[in-house]
Structure 1
Amino acid sequence: MSTEAAENYALSFTDLKVTFETAGPDVHAVKGLSLAVRPGEVVALVGESGSGKSVTSTAAMGLLPENAYITGEARVGNVNVVGLDQGKMRKMRATDIAMVFQEPMTALNPVLTIERQLTEALELHDVAYGKEATDRAIELLTLVGIPDPAKRIKQYPHQFSGGQRQRIVIAMAISCDPKVIIADEPTTALDVTVQAEILDLLRELKDRLNTGILLITHNMGVVADMADQVAVMFQGNLVETGDVQQVLLHPQHEYTQRLLSSVPRLSPVIIDENAPRSEPTVPAERELVLEAKDLVLEYNMRGKIFRAVENVSFDVAKGEVLGIVGESGSGKSTIAKAVLGLLPVAAGTLAVKGHNLPKLSTRQARAVRKDIGVIFQDPAASLNPRFPIGDCITEPMVVHKVGNKASRTKRALELLDAVKLPRNVINRYPHELSGGQRQRICIARALTMNPELLIADEPTSALDVSVQAVVLEMLQDLQRDFNFACLFVSHDLAVVDMLADSVVVMQNGKAVEQGRVDTVLHAPTHDYTRRLLAAAPVPDPIEQAVRRDAWRILNSTK
């Protein structure tokens, strides 16, 4: 790529190669990548973990570690940042190139006010000082849709919701009018409606500021929603590039085809008040495992009572999956916590196998909880890093004083077979496994005591699409083999559609709609359910454009 051509690009890579020197053999993370992003254009870089996406973006920011050996070019505008002096690179960050990170809570400093964090970049790059910087910061918060910005600018990150924090991170990224923004999984941690708002915001800002965006994601729905061009990476190589319709609707490379076939898809939604609602027959003989009647859950916040769940009723029988969906703060995970005994029941009934949890003594409740398995959202955080895998899996047996060392090891090996992992991982440690393998270990641990009830709280949201597909398929197989009841908490409606029999839609602590999945998710009657479904992106750019318009119409009438 000539220098003259590169000047027309906001960001461009030419034959970029990145190799990491390690104690073992060198790791070739990026193998000769050439890619360009024009001003006002969104280029999506997709691929699984370990494909080299984030290494490519980090090279453009000049943030690779010292053991990285880089050749080729990474140009921001017409400046090659490979080998650039650190002082010059520091001046370019924020003014020429900025980054929006995946997790807003770690991207923001928890001990500094939002004002301090926004004005810091402005002062550092001589854009504005003092009151002028504060005024510019308020203007930025207004631009990204934070209500009452003059007052809220004095607050700290923890006083904002996840979606608002991500908006603040975007405000910081655009504060010095950069030529290009690298958005690294900017919506992974957010629920579907907030995700739709953030994508709308990024699209609006890109058009207004004519900024180029390199969007790194493994969510094909987000790609269909946002991207003009798509580049697919696999094991450090660029295997396919093209415009969004060409790549998503007519993929050429086998890997792209496999990636797209792994994406769980929502069935078409019928929004017709007069459409006949099919109510599938439910087996008469249902063996109830979990039952909630008029359930009320409250948090005591420094003497103030906050009601998180109000008068919710549902039940799950053996061999069934109940999905609970809704936005962050709707009360989904609060219900899961109450079932696990991590939150007291304020009123109503919450019964496991006929035992009403609020009425049980500590000892009785412990005996009931023996029949409950749990899978958490983040596999890395839910496994003890100091325990070998065998000890992680058999920990529930130790807690409940079941079996001896030999029988526990035998059980661990059986479960490794069940979750399709090689038996030799029993002596490895969590950090030696991939994210998908760690989540399989969490599933094995949840099944150690042959539970009658499995609680899965966002078990696949941290995983790549192809790994997610394998884990979901495995959960279906395990449920068929073990016949447990499952409470599946998620904000991914396509996953719930694929896995669950029934669904409860939560909004602000109340169940606004519930019933069989094929009724609620395919012919919803409540406006909130319709908004949730319209906000869920699908990996088809033509269909997604229609859905985006439907979402905007539904949102304008709420």
Structure 2
Amino acid sequence: MTTLDITSPGAQAAPGDAVLSFEDLTVTFGTDFGDVHAVKGISLDVRPGEVVALVGESGSGKSVTSMTALGLLPGNARVGGTIRVGNKIVGRLDSRGLREMRGNDVAMVFQEPMTALNPVLTIGDQLTEGLQLHGIAYGKQAEARAAELLRMVGIPEPERRLKQYPHELSGGQRQRVVIAMAIACDPKVIIADEPTTALDVTVQADILDLLRSLKEKLNTGILLITHNMGVVADMADRVAVMLQGDIVETGTADQVLNHPRHDYTKKLLSAVPRLGVNSAAPLTVDVSEEAPTLDLRNLVIEYHRLGKPPFRAVDDVSFKVMPGEIVGLVGESGSGKSTIGKCALGLIPAHSGAVSIMGHDITQLKGKQLKALRKRIGVVFQDPAASMNPRFPIGSVIAEPLEVHKIGDDRSRRRRVLELLDAVELPRSFYNRYPHELSGGQRQRVSVARALTLEPELLVADEPTSALDVSVQASVLAMFTSLQERYKFACLFVSHDLAVIDMLAHRVVVLQNGEIVEQGLREDVLHEPREEYTRRLLAAAPVPEPLEQRRRREARHALLRELGDDVAELQVEDDYERPTLRGQGNNGPTPGGLYGGQ
């Protein structure tokens, strides 16, 4: 496949300048069904103090490429070409050489910090482990260095945090800890694999500020792997676009994002939802005289903990969803969005207040009455794979609501399933396939089909597109809009992606810490926000255009300073002493552990 290189002359570094380089890299996996060519002869360099973004959809070969730099591919992988980290050729290193390289020369920031951190070790133990394994510091000195690293990445009270476990920190704090671990041994290059995918928009903005500060102050090269074009515009100096194991286009961020030449790059960019562009059409149904499909009045939800006072997750929340209307419920993690959705489904009880669905107070219903009402409600979960029985074929997955409510016979159920497969634009041949045989986007379409099986009057969708690639997300959202116009169901759409809400919703409810801070028509809340918190959320949402994103970032920093908040950045003191490796004698690195292990 031909690569379109639109980099200006002289922009490419000489091989000796790069802190990370891939030259004619190929990766092939041997399987029972033949060889799978995951990476097909790509070449890419990362220079000191530079961010190179490697973008593409799932299965394009991005993460496989990054794993070759640390020697972390499984045993059935055959790697060709040359991978250099600094002046080391990875393919020539033995196990000891790889252990010494990891952490010292190259480090990794993974997508999900909870899987990168050991849940049974304290934050302090995990930070000092790398320092001790690489002979940088021991004992009290290692603890002091660990506290210094946490302070550098903006975690308050670092000495106290060292004694805590990963589950006691928020998602953003855990990601900062992973970044602190990555910079502990002052590596030449950091590979950041989707470092913000699971984070809220404001936390994402803070982490990107932190990574940007890292490369500016420590002159660290960063290979950023992502499918979020807004993150690319915010961070990248250069961009490489991957498709099916090939790099199809390279250039500066401005060239690739503003003047793409390859059709695949154009397709990715056209699929990105943008605030103020392709907003949802105004609600055409006259709902002034109709009763609400969902009516929450003074809702309070509490979680009771043994020996502790109850935790109030939702406090005095009131809003309505009218027939044929989509209401977007937005806010950061922990704001109470999903809790409200579960309460509306009758999955968790309300402490006080009322949840009325089609005129019935769900908090007062039990048994057959509750089951009859749930028949009129559909639900789409965030993770489609986790919400399907892996032993059931797709036909049975979609037909399950019909069987639960004893509707129809086998022939009518099959006919209904085939109609729904047509509606969500999936081949009828999928009827006998199993969930693991489908892609993420296809599984999410199956989830929507199952939710619509009983023609619900209310649909609750909890982050249904957050884990999908941008082009898959665009097709699922287009399908969702078409189905909503066709079936006219009311919908409570939970999301932290404001551009998605702008594309779908007629009205928006903004939550913070379990309370509503603002609600109203979409065009008022998202385009003319009145409340400070809504303005923060909007200011943190990245856009896929470098100059515009730089302007938005500067405006966000100005807003934060105006509101008295700190701007997230790497706190490197003037007298900061870079870690240096001690002698490799009896005190040198030992096998095992996060950095030393294979």
TM range (shorter): over 0.9
The residue that corresponds to 2:380 in the other structure is 375
Question: How many positions carry a matched residue from both structures?
Answer: 546
Q: Bigger shift: 345-354 or 214-223? A: 345-354
The residue that corresponds to 2:479 in the other structure is 474
Structure 2 CA distance, aligned partners of 1:94 and 1:398?
54
- Report the 3-state secondary structure (helix = DSSP H, G, I; strand = E; otherwise coil) of the residue aligned with 2:467: coil
The residue that corresponds to 1:301 in the other structure is 305
Conserved 8 A contact 2:287-2:323 = no
CA offsets, 1:10-57, max 9 Å, x none? Answer: 111111111111122321111110110001100000001111111110
The residue that corresponds to 2:261 in the other structure is 252
Deviation at 1:398, TM superposition (A): 2.4
Q: 1:548 aligns with which of 517, 532, 553?
A: 553
Q: 2:108 aligns with which of 90, 99, 115?
A: 99
| Counterpart amino acid of residue 71 in structure 1 | G
The residue that corresponds to 1:453 in the other structure is 458
Structure 2 CA distance, aligned partners of 1:409 and 1:10?
58
Conserved 8 A contact 1:6-1:78 = no
Conserved 8 A contact 1:394-1:409 = yes
Deviation at 1:280, TM superposition (A): 10
Deviation at 1:407, TM superposition (A): 2.5
- Report the 3-state secondary structure (helix = DSSP H, G, I; strand = E; otherwise coil) of the residue aligned with 2:296: strand
User: Quick one: structure 1 residues 532 and 420, their matched pair in 2 at CA, closer, same or farther if it must change by over 3 Å?
Assistant: same
- Report the 3-state secondary structure (helix = DSSP H, G, I; strand = E; otherwise coil) of the residue aligned with 2:215: helix
Within the alignment, does 1:289 sit opposite 2:293 as a pair?
Answer: yes
Conserved 8 A contact 2:23-2:81 = yes
| Counterpart amino acid of residue 448 in structure 2 | I
The residue that corresponds to 2:136 in the other structure is 127
The residue that corresponds to 2:536 in the other structure is 531
Within the alignment, does 1:361 sit opposite 2:375 as a pair?
Answer: no
Q: 2:28 aligns with which of 19, 30, 34?
A: 19
CA offsets, 1:394-448, max 9 Å, x none? Answer: 2222222323333322222221111111111121111111111111111111111
Structure-2-length-normalised TM-score = 0.89
Structure 2 CA distance, aligned partners of 1:280 and 1:134?
62
Structure 1 unaligned spans of 5+: 269-277
Conserved 8 A contact 2:53-2:224 = yes
The residue that corresponds to 1:505 in the other structure is 510
Deviation at 1:371, TM superposition (A): 1.0
Within the alignment, does 1:72 sit opposite 2:88 as a pair?
Answer: no
Structure 2 unaligned spans of 5+: 1-12, 564-598
The residue that corresponds to 1:210 in the other structure is 219
Conserved 8 A contact 1:119-1:133 = yes
Deviation at 1:287, TM superposition (A): 4.6
Structure 1 CA distance, aligned partners of 2:216 and 2:256?
23
Conserved 8 A contact 2:285-2:324 = no
| Counterpart amino acid of residue 253 in structure 2 | V
Conserved 8 A contact 2:526-2:538 = yes
Within the alignment, does 1:62 sit opposite 2:74 as a pair?
Answer: no
Deviation at 1:391, TM superposition (A): 1.7
CA offsets, 1:372-391, max 9 Å, x none? Answer: 11111111211122221112
Structure 1 CA distance, aligned partners of 2:283 and 2:364?
35
Within the alignment, does 1:429 sit opposite 2:434 as a pair?
Answer: yes
Deviation at 1:285, TM superposition (A): 3.6
CA offsets, 1:134-193, max 9 Å, x none? Answer: 111111111111111101211111101111111111111111111100000000000000
Q: 1:484 aligns with which of 479, 482, 489?
A: 489
CA offsets, 1:219-263, max 9 Å, x none? Answer: 000000010101001111111111111110111111101100000
| Counterpart amino acid of residue 298 in structure 1 | E
Structure-1-length-normalised TM-score = 0.95
Conserved 8 A contact 1:32-1:237 = yes
Identity of aligned residues (%): 66
The residue that corresponds to 2:526 in the other structure is 521
Q: 2:185 aligns with which of 152, 176, 187?
A: 176
Conserved 8 A contact 2:283-2:325 = no
Conserved 8 A contact 1:280-1:516 = no
Structure number with greater CO (CA < 8 Å, separation at least 6) is: 2
Conserved 8 A contact 1:279-1:516 = no
CA offsets, 1:470-516, max 9 Å, x none? Answer: 00000001111111111000000000000000000111111111001
